[in-house]
Amino acid sequence: MSIDKHGLPLRRRAATQGSQRHDTARKALLTAGPLSSLLYVVATDVVAASQWDGYRRTEQMVSELFAVGSPGRDVLVPFTWLYTVLFTAFGVGVWNSARGNRALRIAGGLLTGYGLWNIMGALYPLTLGDDASIPMHILATNVQLALMVSAMCFVAAGFHGRMRAYSIVSLAASAVMGMVAFAAAPGPDLVLGIGERISIGAFLLWVAVLAVALWKRPAVVAAPAGSAPDSATR
């Protein structure tokens, strides 16, 4: 029986190149996370808020900027779709970074769902001066919040050390300030405007930090037979 001396090295080289391409795509998807956070801040409190004379960032809800009848809505409608694409891509990037870590894989699925659920928020916006629009908007928002909280919990479970602690602190800050803002609604009120922005900001920053933490992970290489996959992330 003849042995192809070049076959095995070629297969190894092909596997390495495939792994490198996969890692490049994974990192590109993760980059969409911080980009979506930056875009959110710029689109809402910089661009859309500037279209509304008299809008007070420290006292009014971000949701009002997205509402039908808001002067900034024309800016935020296309932004919503772009944010949905970017965040969904980030969720897929987290999924592809799991490498056998079940909790992180679930978190990636939840973050992907969170990104896609933005479509429901766009379909059921608030309408300024119309209380009938509130119930469906609250329902759509609560589902998205449930996806967000669940994802942060699973990321905390999938990490050890500083990223786990940071995820727990970020979740606590976002949840507490979100409840404080909700209690102060409808405003305008300093507690409402600042509290909601702290809640949102904690999540947006967490997304960026998670992307950096996963970006640093080494590329997946072909493992020898019998080796165990990663069970946890540092």
pLDDT reading at 2 higher than 70? no
| CA–CA gap between residue 114 and residue 143 (Å, rounded) | 9
DSSP three-state, residue 6 = coil
CB 40 within 8 A of CB 115: no
99 conformational bin, left if phi > 0, alpha if psi -120 to 50, beta if neither? left
pLDDT averaged over the chain? Answer: 85
* pLDDT at residue 13 in the model: 55
* pLDDT at residue 224 in the model: 38
* pLDDT at residue 221 in the model: 39
pLDDT reading at 18 higher than 80? no
Tokens of 173: 């800050």
| CA–CA gap between residue 197 and residue 207 (Å, rounded) | 15
Q: What pLDDT digit, counting tens, does each position of 138-160 carry?
A: 898 899 999 999 999 999 999 98
Which residue would you say has higher pLDDT here, 134 or 104? 104
Q: For residue 233, name the pLDDT band (cuts at 50, 70, 90).
A: low
* pLDDT at residue 1 in the model: 47
Q: For residue 26, name the pLDDT band (cuts at 50, 70, 90).
A: very high
Burial of 108 (0-12, 13-18, 19+ CB in 10 A): buried
Q: What pLDDT digit, counting tens, does each position of 55-88 carry?
A: 999 899 898 999 999 998 988 999 999 999 999 9
pLDDT reading at 202 higher than 90? yes
Which residue, among 81, 40, 73, has the nearest Cα to 55 in the 3D structure? 73
* pLDDT at residue 198 in the model: 95
* pLDDT at residue 110 in the model: 98
Which residue would you say has higher pLDDT here, 231 or 98? 98
pLDDT reading at 220 higher than 50? no
**How much is the pTM?**
0.84
